[in-house]
Structure 1
Amino acid sequence: MAMERLRAQIMQQDQSGVYRTNGGTNAASSNSLTSTGLVSPTNATFGSTEASAKDHYGHPDGCPVGQVFDSRKACYDAKVHRATMKGIVGNVFEGAYSIVVNEGYEDDIDEGDVIWYTGAGGQDNRGGSEPQKSDQSFDHPSNRALARNIDTRHPVRVIRGSKDSKWGPVQGYRYDGLYDVVSNQAGYVKGISGYQICRFKLQRRPGQIPLKDL
């Protein structure tokens, strides 16, 4: 039921450009919504303003699964993950395009083909490399975007960093293919530090080169 309410909140938008979350209202900025009520990709995509009009779902052109990059900037330039700091790139209407898994949040659990991924927010460090300091919320645009993939069924590109000791590359960052956000496994849970976190379950799509062979 919580996931159904979240879906309704994400999609509920009246003609005045107001979207409603947790029973309240937030006025959508004029440069984020067009006159038809559709999102303007150039202004609504977060993680990188340049990414908005160029990003897409699915495998990046010219980048095979298993491709290793020496830095986040290299991932950005290859259009694999169009942000150099944020872990989630996407927008609240179309969903998330890509995520980075690099032991950024203490509550992340990486099982290879299955990832229990912690949403954004609740830390002083925007890079997500310290314990939680406060609750997370699905009002955060990154979390709303990743939840949106449940309805759109768009896959998410997963990039693993070398800090992910078991499944990550020896160094740098590696493109590990496409994952789906599992519909009945997204919601609030209590994290290790006692704060509310937004948790997502991501399942790797079949038919890709096995992770053990990367």
Structure 2
Amino acid sequence: MALGTNYAEVNFKNELKSSGTNSNSPADPRENTIPHQSNFGFSKLLLALLLILFLLKEILLSVSFITFFQKNSQLLKEKNYGNSTKEMIHTNLECVKINSTMKGKVWSCCPKNWKSFSSSCYFISSKQRSWKKSQENCSTMEAHLVVINSKEEQDFITWNLNKSHAYFVGLSDPEGQRHWQWIDQTPYNENTMFWHVGEPNRVQERCVVLNYREQWGWNDIFCAHVQRSICEMMKIYL
């Protein structure tokens, strides 16, 4: 109690002096040092509180992220439980902090081992399947065969491909009438297509691969042929 009283008195005396009131009591040599020490201690306390608040915020973000991941990971595992022939579903997310206008969204995420570009994530499968089986495999991972909307997107994708292989994309001609359709119903744009010279060349070849012939381009092939493939999904925002 004595320490508390002295502190109150010191503050009170300083206030009197600052207001111009005279005091006949002898000067206490501690008057000039104790306020400085108190202010310094208060600054340290404030800094510590701010640090604690920052750490609590980061912990809450981490907990939210872990909870979200666990729920989605469990859902995907249950959906594909017992099917050992399918490519393993992603069990981890890789996220980067973003400046987002979406309320409450600060993280942009793709499954681990997927490639990130613009608002999409891409998975390059090394397993060979038919076009239909490739699409089914993408679907088990909440994705679809890749839909290419720009040269920039195609350049990014092909940068990560092996020139010795061909890769199914989500473009096909289901009726064999040369009416090309993207798997996600994106309109086929004749101003954004990358066919090799002379392609497409056979009505019976109703599915499309990306392959390399001096440069990367599209080639129509039989849908039953087995090739590698590329899956695409929208990024996850947390």
Q: Please, what TM-score do these two structures have when normalized by structure 1?
A: 0.22
Structure whose CA Rg is larger: 2
Q: Please, what TM-score do these two structures have when normalized by structure 2?
A: 0.21
